[in-house]
Amino acid sequence: MKDKISFVLVAISSALIGSICCIGPIVSALIGIGAGASFAKFSSLRIPSMIIAIIALAFGFYVVYFKKHRVLCEDGECKVKTPGKLSKISLWIATILITFLLIFPNIINTSSTNAKLSSETGLSSVVIEVQDMDCEACFIPIKNSLEEKDGIAWFSPDFSKQEIEVKFDQKKIKVSDITYLINESGFKVKNVKQKRDKK
């Protein structure tokens, strides 16, 4: 029984470590602390941790459902010792949790536009490079900060380049205010480029 549960615990622990880069920024945004980037540094552990989780889970399924179980003979009576309900329930709960953690970054919907000023003309545009912003979950604390500020009309992240394009009204907000908001969300602005809109 203990060996079956230990593989479930290894699987869940590995999945949590592999998902801390996605879950951490969201939790920090929900409780209002700017620690999103510190969790994003764990993104390099995601794939190896998830592989370990899947292997441990697969081994758990093998032990619970497919492994030949030993026969105990006591007092002339023989019984096959099979895994109990707790082992099976634990395994299935772990499977559901790990599946959720695996697909979690792909199901987050962070609408990346803000329509407060979208009808106004004469907006300025910048592209801001943000260190360690490489997924939707990382973007949530930044998105929350930008949405709360008056003067920001629109923003869109590009995770492959770790950049956010921001359109804003210079009469209401400065570029330095925008970079301050991003830095306060726990991430670090690496570079800011003015963008010329094509006419």
pLDDT digits (tens, 9 = 90+) for 22-43: 777 667 666 766 565 667 667 7
Question: From residue 123, how far is each of 41, 81, 166 by CA, in Å?
Answer: 34, 72, 10
Q: Looking at residues 144-156, what average pLDDT do you find?
A: 85
Confirm whether pTM is higher than 0.85.
Answer: no
Strand partners, 154: 167
Report how far residue 142's alpha carbon sits from residue 130's, in angstroms, rounded to the nearest whole number: 10
Tens of pLDDT along 151-187? 888 888 888 898 999 988 888 899 999 999 888 887 8
Instruction: Tell me: pLDDT of 150 over 60.
Output: yes
Which residues in 128-160 are b (16+ Cβ under 10 Å) and which e? Answer: bbbebbbbbbbbbbbbbbbeebebbbbbebeee
Give the pLDDT confidence score for residue 126 in this predicted structure: 92
Instruction: Tell me: pLDDT of 199 over 60.
Output: no
φ, ψ for residue 134, nearest 5 deg: -125, 15
Q: Are 140 and 53 in contact (CB under 8 A)?
A: no
Instruction: Tell me: pLDDT of 135 over 80.
Output: no
pLDDT tier for residue 16 given thresholds of 50, 70 and 90: confident
> Which region among 5-14, 23-32, 45-54 has the lowest average model confidence (pLDDT)?
23-32
Domain boundaries, the chain: 2-107, 124-194
Q: Taking the domain 124-194, which CATH number applies?
A: 3.30.70.100
What is the three-class DSSP state of 167?
Answer: strand
pLDDT tier for residue 64 given thresholds of 50, 70 and 90: confident
Tens of pLDDT along 75-130? 767 776 777 788 888 888 888 888 887 777 666 655 555 555 455 567 889 999 99
> Which region among 37-41, 59-63, 135-139, 140-144 has the lowest average model confidence (pLDDT)?
37-41
